[in-house]
């Protein structure tokens, strides 16, 4: 539960694009191909995704702390808005 990012990503998307962002923003072709490949591997040989999942979460969890700070500074964000994806409030330091 502590590592799930969907709700955080949705909150950030709404911050940047407003209500109804799901209808305004469409995944790029590259993103669509990436998702299709993940779904294909998950269906055909899901064990291959263990390394991918580990790397994603390791990068999001540890690199995310740095990325959240960088995004705040470079995008001029305030009050911690727009960086919920990089916050892991349910994990003790």
pLDDT of residue 93: 62
Q: Please, are residues 12 and 82 in contact by the beta-carbon 8 Å criterion? A: yes
Q: Is the pLDDT of residue 48 over 90?
A: yes
Task: Please name which of 90, 71, 53, 92 lies closest in space to residue 15, comparing C-alpha atoms.
Answer: 71
Grade residue 6 by pLDDT with cuts at 50, 70 and 90. Answer: confident
pTM: 0.74
Q: Please, are residues 70 and 78 in contact by the beta-carbon 8 Å criterion? A: no
Mean pLDDT within 62-83: 85
Q: What angle do CA 71, 60, 86 make, to 5 degrees?
A: 45
Grade residue 89 by pLDDT with cuts at 50, 70 and 90. Answer: confident
């Amino acid at each position: 539960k502590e590592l799930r990012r969907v709700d955080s990503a949705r909150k950030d998307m709404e911050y940047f694009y407003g209500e109804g962002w799901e209808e305004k923003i469409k995944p790029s072709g590259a993103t669509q191909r990436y998702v299709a490949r993940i779904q294909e591997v998950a269906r055909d040989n899901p064990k291959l995704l263990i390394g991918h999942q580990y790397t994603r979460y390791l990068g999001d969890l540890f690199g995310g702390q740095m990325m959240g700070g960088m995004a705040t500074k470079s995008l001029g964000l305030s009050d911690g808005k727009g960086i919920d994806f990089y916050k892991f409030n349910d994990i003790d330091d």
